Every structure is written in C-alpha cells, then in structure tokens.
A and B are shown apart, each in its own frame.
Chain A
Amino acid sequence: MMTNLFNQFEIPQMFGTKMTLITLLLPLMLTPQPTNRLSTNRTYTLTKWMLKEITKHLMLPTSKNGFKWAPLLTSLLLMLLTLNIVGMFPYTFTPTTQLSVNMALALPLWLATVLIGLRTQPTKSMAHLLPEGTPTLLIPTLIVIESISLLIRPIALGVRLTANLTAGHLLLQLISTAALSTIKMIPTLSLLPTVLLILLMVLEFAVAIIQAYVFTLLTCLYLQENT
C-alpha cells in the first residue's frame, strides 16, 4: 500500500539536496563526444546516423531562415527522447513529469518563434491570425479566437508533455499494484493485470518517444509559420 499515489513523482534527494540537475544532465552523459575520425566506433556511428536523420526530417519543411534552429531543435528532441526513455527504467526520476521543466522548455521556445516572426516579417506573421476565405462578418470573432489559440500554445505544449508522461507512469503504478497484491492470493486473477501491464509498458515506451517528437515538431511548426 502506498501513502500517496504521487510519491513516485517527488524529486529525489541526497542529504537534503535536490538531484534535479544531475537527472537533467543525464542525456549529456549518454551522448558520445564528437570526433574528427572518418571511421568511428559503433556507438558514435549510430548516434551520428540518428542525429542526421532527425535534423533532416526537422529541416526538410523549414525555410532557409529556420536552418539556424537546427542544432537547438535536434538537441531538444534528443534530450526529451533520452529523458523519457531513461524514465522508464525502475526507480528512475523523469524530469519531464514536472510541469516546471516542461514549461521552462516550452514558453521560451514559443515566445522566441513569435518574436522572430513579429520582428522579421510582421505582416506575414499577423496574417496567420486570420485563415484564408473566412466570411467578412466572422472576421472579428475569428481574430479573437486565433489570438487565444496563439496564446494558449505554450501552455498546451508544456502541459501535453507533462500530462502524457505523468498519466502513463501513474497508470503503470496502479496496475502493477493490482497485479502484485493479487499474485499471492489469487494467481489466476493476477494474470489479467500482468498482461495489461506488459501491453501498457509497450505503450508507454511508444508514448515516451512520440511525445518527445510531438513537442519538437510543434516547435518546428511554429517556427515555419514565423520565418
């Protein structure tokens, strides 16, 4: 029995000091350092291939002005991917379940895309507030609606990632508690939660990867609109 279902999301501490920084720096430890060698080892070849694919797919729909965002977006995707997948290991802490971390990533990135749009091409970026072909009478309403949807983007970006990962981890904990508590008393009954747990684990891995991708893709999309 647990006292509080949300205990698993508490930040790990060592002698009173929060370990958030170390858990956030873990992706740095897992990535090999770049070398100048032509023929590299297995780890670095795989990493380089993955980085090239990520950058290619992110920058394919982007205009030339957006190319300078390539390192930022690639490293964002890599960081979120690593943090989410490492969080699937037992007892580990996932910083992306904390709203503070996700908002700290989402808000500045979104604001940067909006400011870049307003600075370099103000007419074109303001034009996004009104979709093409709207009836004349609906224009004021639609502008208000589009402005609200613009302002809600950073909140949506941050909360989407937080909610998806938190909900996944919570579900995992609940179903594993059900499986564990019934496995001694009624083993046949515990078969159902165990099968569900295995399927949920597969889903969680997929969600971890997909959510990281969605976050980066949406940021890239907001960039495309504004460059």
Chain B
Amino acid sequence: MADKVVPIKEQKLMDVKLGQLPSWLAARDYSAQGIFLGFKAGYDRFFNKYINVKNAGIGGFAMLMTGYVILSYTWSYSHLKTERIRKYH
C-alpha cells in the first residue's frame, strides 16, 4: 500500500531522503518568527521529554544547566581569553 504523498515542507528531518535535503532546507521558514518558533519547538521537545515528566530527577535540569554554561562560555570567550595562565606576562 503506497503512503500518502506528504509535501516536503511538512516532512520531519528524519523522514527526508538525502537527495531531498537541499530542497527541504530551502523550504524552511527563516523569518524572525520562524527562527523563534524553531527554537521554541526544540526547547519544548527537550522540556517535555526530560523535565515535564512524572518522575523527573536532577538529570533534565542538570543537562539544561550544562548546556547553558557551555553557551555562556561561548558568549563570553572574548573576555575569557585574556585570562589565560601564562608563564610570562
């Protein structure tokens, strides 16, 4: 039985064939709202899988904070590289 034809815009990334990848990338919404909704969707997936569950432990929160720490490190790298330990100053 043949599957129903799904337009490329509505397919999930894991269902897209490798040859269709450039057209899938071109069909995505790159406006400000689109990017914001993309981040929100990604965060909601993470949140509902690890934090908003019945028996949540420290794991979800720890993963989130680790990610935030790494992100903050990349943001403040230009300040931090002046603080390297050197033999001669």
Contacts and interface: CB of A to CB of B under 8 A. Distances in A.
A3 B69 contact: no
B78 to A, nearest CB: 7
Nearest to B73: A91
Contacts of B74: 14
A43 B51 contact: yes
Interface in A66-122: 86, 89-93
B30 interface: no
Q: How big is chain B's contact interface, by range?
A: 20 to 34
Contact of A91 (B54, B69, B78, B82): B69
A92 B82 contact: no
A41 interface: yes
Given A10-B79, A12-B76, A91-B76, A42 B69 contact: no
Interface in B22-80: 43, 47, 51-56, 64-65, 68-69, 72-76, 78-80
Nearest to B86: A1
A65 interface: no
B2 to A, nearest CB: 40
